[in-house]
Amino acid sequence: MLSFLPILLAQATPNLPPKEIIKPQEVRALPGQLDSVLVFNSNSPEVVQQDGILLSTFPPIGKRVPTAHLDQAFEGRFDIFAHHIAKALTPEDLRTLYLGIIVHNPGQVPVTVDTLQAASYLSQPDAPFLDIPSFVDNPIGSVFAGPGSRAVNEVLRGQRQEEFSPQLVIPPGESRMILNVPIPVKPLTPPLNGRSTLMRLRSTGKVYIASLGMFAKTDDNGNERAPTLEEWQTLLDTGDLVTPRDQPPTPLSATQNAFAYGRVAGVAVGSQWLSQVVDRGSDRLNIPNPGQAFSYGLSLLYRGTMGTGQNQNAKVIKRYPDTAYEAHGNYGIEYNLAMPLYNPTSQDRAVTLAVENPLKREDTQQGLRFFEPPARSVFFRGTVRVRYKDDAGLPQTRSVHLVLRRGQQGDPLVTLNLKPGERRLVEFDFIYPPDATPPQVLTVRTLD
């Protein structure tokens, strides 16, 4: 009888909802700001089920549907971010969807586009959403959960996937494909697949960009093939925006409780958030008192400022009327934070740094709210990096892949033992991954 007691107790105990707990820690606005680099941000509609235009910054002149073109040139440094899903319309329709990104040179001299870093991955088979532990060291980038997690991690490491040419030369008045890749659904069950792409680029002149979706063409033998440049160009000139559309956003001026952010399809401003995280009027960051902590918001957004009043969203300067007003979530944006930690006391202090996923609340005066245990839903999948000198004075770099669930407290990324009066620089950086839900926080804690 006794050997069955644990099983009987488990069967008799209902699944209780997680308990909400409050951790008394100050939440601070993050110093710094986004840079002014333009980002081509293609994420609406997320699910693509017909041929058409996803996002076009071409001039509307000469196009069959002028309203599908936003008329915004790119020059110098800019980014391209694209995140889309293919889903079969019927169980029998298993055609491969292609994602094409076309770049046009409107000038009278050749334009060179350099690919600085770039990565593009499918959910299946490249980067499935694996159920992996919440905290895994990731020194060489081999740990990922989802295509967004994998793509942004490689760009953070300064890599350029071999499928991308290091340089693209576009003759005057001509266009070239910078991306022409499949999102297959066969033989997946269910027939559903996604692709995440991030590119950091630099051009020597003005270019226009468009992302488009098109089902594979067939050759004379009935085999699928990728669309040609001419076929993409025809779709750009004569096509309309892909339907069905995503849910439109709630106007930012709305006062009702229900709020829809919408998905992004437009040109946003800001590729990196650079910050010296210091106390006001100082060149250093005093650590908390023993047993206390403070947190800085990461990817704070409208109606999600965690009580700071700070909105870190990249502003969208060109958009379609039914797409997001801001690049909420800051997908593909790098956070690069320098934290000169300082121990102002006369005793040794142990200090930790952690990324956490508190509940999205504005009433943070008493502290941050967490669930114990955390909820099932995953709110963050991605790699973060810390660089510092250890207690022996040796430089260290640690990359950790995190899977944070709603209401989950964070494990320490690093623990530093600071001597009295010691100042030590810690650099924290990551690229906010697609398939994540903002906001998160970066917590500095001094142990008892």
By the 8 A CB rule, do 345 and 291 touch?
Answer: no
Backbone dihedral region for residue 147 (phi beyond 0: left; psi -120 to 50: alpha; all else: beta): alpha
How many C-beta neighbours within 10 Å does residue 7 have?
9
List the domain boundaries for the chain. Answer: 20-33+272-446, 45-238
Prediction pTM value: 0.94
The amino acid at residue 175 is S
Cα angle 21, 23, 29 (rounded to 5 degrees) comes to: 125
The amino acid at residue 94 is L
Distance CA 181, CA 120 (A): 9
Buried b (16+ CB within 10 A) or exposed e, 128-164: ebeeeebbbebeeeebbbbbbbbbbbbbbeeebbeeb
Distance CA 152, CA 404 (A): 17
Per-residue pLDDT of the chain (448 residues; tens, 9 = 90+): 333 333 333 344 456 778 999 999 999 999 999 999 999 999 999 999 999 999 999 999 999 999 999 999 999 999 999 999 999 999 999 999 999 999 999 999 999 999 999 999 999 999 999 999 999 999 999 999 999 999 999 999 999 999 999 999 999 999 999 999 999 999 999 999 999 999 999 999 999 999 999 999 999 998 999 999 999 999 999 999 999 999 999 999 888 888 999 999 999 999 999 999 999 999 999 999 999 999 999 999 999 999 999 999 999 999 999 999 999 989 999 999 999 999 999 999 999 999 999 999 999 999 999 999 999 999 999 999 999 999 999 999 999 999 999 999 999 999 999 999 999 999 999 999 999 999 999 999 999 9
